[in-house]
């Protein structure tokens, strides 16, 4: 699953290690792709394109923008999942699968909210470690 939350995770890692100073959005997306080849450069650029501030944002601002995009995107998905869960005629496995989705997206939103607080307070190592589990569980969805 392509998800922008993984981009937040990569950015938190960059911030934690102070590897990079300012750079263009394209450059940052190229670095994310180098760090994690599963992250497509095009997906990264396209995701940020909807927010015009991305083009002049530094790494921590990009991390916050990506977290906000994650919250918007996951909230939208959660509404659909929770709507589907209201169906009383779901089979056992259909309900189980939807419950998994509910858990995954609910916890993704919680982590994105936490990441915003941590990035804003400069606590990049907490942001990176919180998102680390997310990083691996989401990649294989």
Ligand X SMILES: *[C@@H]1O[C@H](CO)[C@@H](O)[C@H](O)[C@H]1NC(C)=O
Q: Interface with ligand X by CB under 6 A: which residues?
A: 2-3, 15, 58-61, 73, 76, 82, 85, 87, 89-90, 94, 99, 102-103, 106
Closest CB 90 distance from ligand X, rounded Å: 5
Burial degree of 91 (CB within 10 A; 0-12, 13-18, 19+): exposed
- Of 18, 11, 28, 129, nearest to 70 (Cα)? 11
- DSSP secondary structure, 57-114, as one string: --HHHHHHHHHHHHHHHHHHHHHHHHHHHT-TT--HHHHHHHHHHHHHHHHHHHHHHH
Closest CB 58 distance from ligand X, rounded Å: 4
Of 55 and 76, the one with the shorter C-beta distance to ligand X is 76
Question: Which tokens go with 21?
Answer: 């100073």
Burial degree of 141 (CB within 10 A; 0-12, 13-18, 19+): exposed
Of 94 and 132, the one with the shorter C-beta distance to ligand X is 94
Closest CB 136 distance from ligand X, rounded Å: 17
Closest CB 107 distance from ligand X, rounded Å: 7
Please name the residue that has the structure tokens 């450069």.
Answer: 41
Of 23 and 129, the one with the shorter C-beta distance to ligand X is 23
Closest CB 30 distance from ligand X, rounded Å: 18
């Amino acid at each position: 699953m392509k998800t922008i939350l993984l981009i937040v995770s990569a950015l938190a890692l960059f911030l934690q290690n102070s590897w990079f100073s300012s750079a263009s959005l394209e450059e940052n997306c190229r670095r994310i792709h180098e760090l994690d080849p599963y992250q497509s450069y095009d997906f990264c650029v396209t995701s940020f394109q909807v927010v015009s501030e991305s083009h002049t944002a530094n790494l921590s601002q990009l991390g916050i923008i990506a977290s906000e995009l994650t919250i918007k995107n996951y909230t939208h998905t959660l509404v659909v999942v929770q709507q589907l869960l209201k169906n009383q005629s779901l089979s056992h496995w259909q309900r189980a699968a939807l419950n998994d989705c509910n858990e995954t997206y609910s916890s993704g939103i919680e982590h994105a909210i936490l990441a915003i607080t941590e990035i804003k307070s400069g606590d990049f190592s907490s942001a990176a470690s919180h998102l680390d589990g997310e990083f691996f569980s989401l990649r294989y969805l």
